[in-house]
Homo-oligomer: A and B are copies of this chain.
Amino acid sequence: MLQATERRPWHMSAFVTIAFALTPMIIAADDDVAARVALVKESVNTYRAAHEAVIIKDFIELLSLPNDAAVLADMERNADHITDLLELRGFKTQRLRAGGAPYVYAELLSPGAAETVLIYAHFDGQPVQEENWIHPPFVPTLLDGPIQAGAEVIDVGEVKGQFGPEWRLYARSAGDDKMPIIALMHTLDALAANGIERSVNLKLLLDGEEERGSPSVGRIIDENRELFEADLFLFCDGPMHQSRRTQLVFGVRGSTTVDITSYGAVRPLHSGHYGNWAPNPIMQLSWLLTSLRAESGRILVDGYYDDVVPLGELERDAIAAMPDVTEMLQDELAVNTPEGEGKRLEELVTLPAINARGIVAGGVGEKGRNVILSTATTSLDLRLVPDQTPQRAIELIKAHLVRQGYHVVADDPSIETLRAHRKVVKLDWHDAGYPAMRTALDHPMSMRLTGLMRMIAPDLIVTPNMGGSLPLHEFSSRLAVPIIILPLANHDNNQHAENENIRLQNFWDAITVYAAVLASFGDTITP
């Protein structure tokens, strides 16, 4: 396998027509690729249509294995089963572990392929509360629609002809995140059955501890770095766009959290006897919060945007091309005036955000007492974007508070400290946090994948970065490979909750998408 840098230098991207990625027409030099992709799509769909019952039964078998992320034995059993599936398709597999649950690593070389695609998915699941499920979470159940629409159970063995595209398979991890594993297996079967050659080598990293935050993934990469050499990293997890249009996501926000405590007198005071005299810690927090953030959501901390990489024209155009959900969201969420001064949600999530997620001091309602409190605490979560780091955000916020006249401490202040300083505030950073990750839309791999995806999904949604956070920096900080998120599950898959499900059309589309990538990605060229 060649490194990307050896073959197609990164800086070539400067020469590309930046409008390309957004043009719905395919103007890639290689019309042959488009023709081939159309053929692959048709062949694979035909194969799948003829094998739906087998594919579903195969998925049911995997979903029947309990996979509570906290139960190591569950993870081993799932890893064994998946290893069998992989080896049946010719993969070389390894069990990787670094003190936690097992990861399944697998490689499938392709004759003549120069490039390698690394695909990530995970096979562990959130713990289940059986009593909340209409059908037991590990008794996968096929329904002829969404459960809340009164759908009826389908007996898989009795289905004549094709399965309905709106049918749903209900089970833990149907949506998050066993589907990509089974889809890939049947993609390979479909390609083989049609005699279609793979254009890329394939590597898989299947995570057995994602729902616990993948605590050992960093060590696993460090200890097996050569295994992860690849040209493109497809991160296959998470729900796709609400419009059900095929989507590529090029980044995530980083995250860190902090609790901020302000101080009044050392003990709560009678609000009559001391009202107007004793400093009020709730008011202190109010001034502090309003000093951090304007009503628009804009962060007022000096220098906070200095590290923010502005969106390029490609990113701006991609956002403009996304379905506008603003008014739908306003209606659904009863929001008259969003923050952000009229900017689109999709643009706003490319900016850093400070969210006051909690504030607790004294009581309200029946629990209200006429006292001036001694302390008040608020909790903030900070969403970070490239190239912010949690460390720098922390420093800037500290410096801001010092400029606001606060004496900033990390531990509970002594009486002497409180007596000595006009305003004291404790910052309690819960964890180190992690930075954002965003792969540039004009990276050659981004452009090649976007072009290929448009061949099978002309209305592809290109999302520069999603608003949520994933610790992709564990990969991006260790591996030179560009990471692109390819979400495949329906957005209404109830992930992490009861009645998790996969919509069959999403499952079928995943097979098509994988087929196009495996059959043709190696043939695409940088436009």
Task: Please report A residues at the B interface, Cβ cutoff 8 Å.
Answer: 253, 255, 257, 259, 264-267, 269-280, 282-283, 285-287, 289-290, 293, 295, 297, 329-331, 333-340, 345, 348-349, 351, 353, 355-365, 367-373, 376-379, 381, 383, 415-416, 418-423, 428, 430, 466-469
Contact A358 B363 (CB under 8 A): yes
Contact A422 B337 (CB under 8 A): yes
Contact A335 B279 (CB under 8 A): yes
Contact A334 B273 (CB under 8 A): no
Closest-CB distance, A240 to chain B (whole angstroms): 13
Closest-CB distance, A352 to chain B (whole angstroms): 8
A contact face: mostly helix, strand, loop, or mixed: mixed
Contact B339 A276 (CB under 8 A): yes
C-alpha gap A297/B340 in the complex (Å): 32
Chain B residues whose CB sits within 8 angstroms of the CB of A272 once the complex forms? 253, 255, 349, 383, 466-469
| Number of copies of chain A assembled together | 2
Closest-CB distance, A385 to chain B (whole angstroms): 10
Chain B residues whose CB sits within 8 angstroms of the CB of A377 once the complex forms? 364-365
Known: A275-B355, A277-B340. 5 other contacts (CB 8 A): A265-B333, A277-B349, A278-B339, A334-B418, A370-B381
C-alpha gap A330/B289 in the complex (Å): 26
Between A and B, 19 residue pairs with Cβ closer than 8 Å are: A269-B333, A270-B467, A271-B357, A272-B466, A273-B468, A277-B345, A278-B335, A285-B286, A286-B287, A286-B289, A336-B420, A357-B362, A357-B368, A357-B371, A359-B376, A360-B360, A368-B381, A368-B430, A370-B381
Closest-CB distance, A400 to chain B (whole angstroms): 16
| 8 Å CB contact of A276 from B273, B351, B371 | B351
Chain B residues whose CB sits within 8 angstroms of the CB of A270 once the complex forms? 467-468
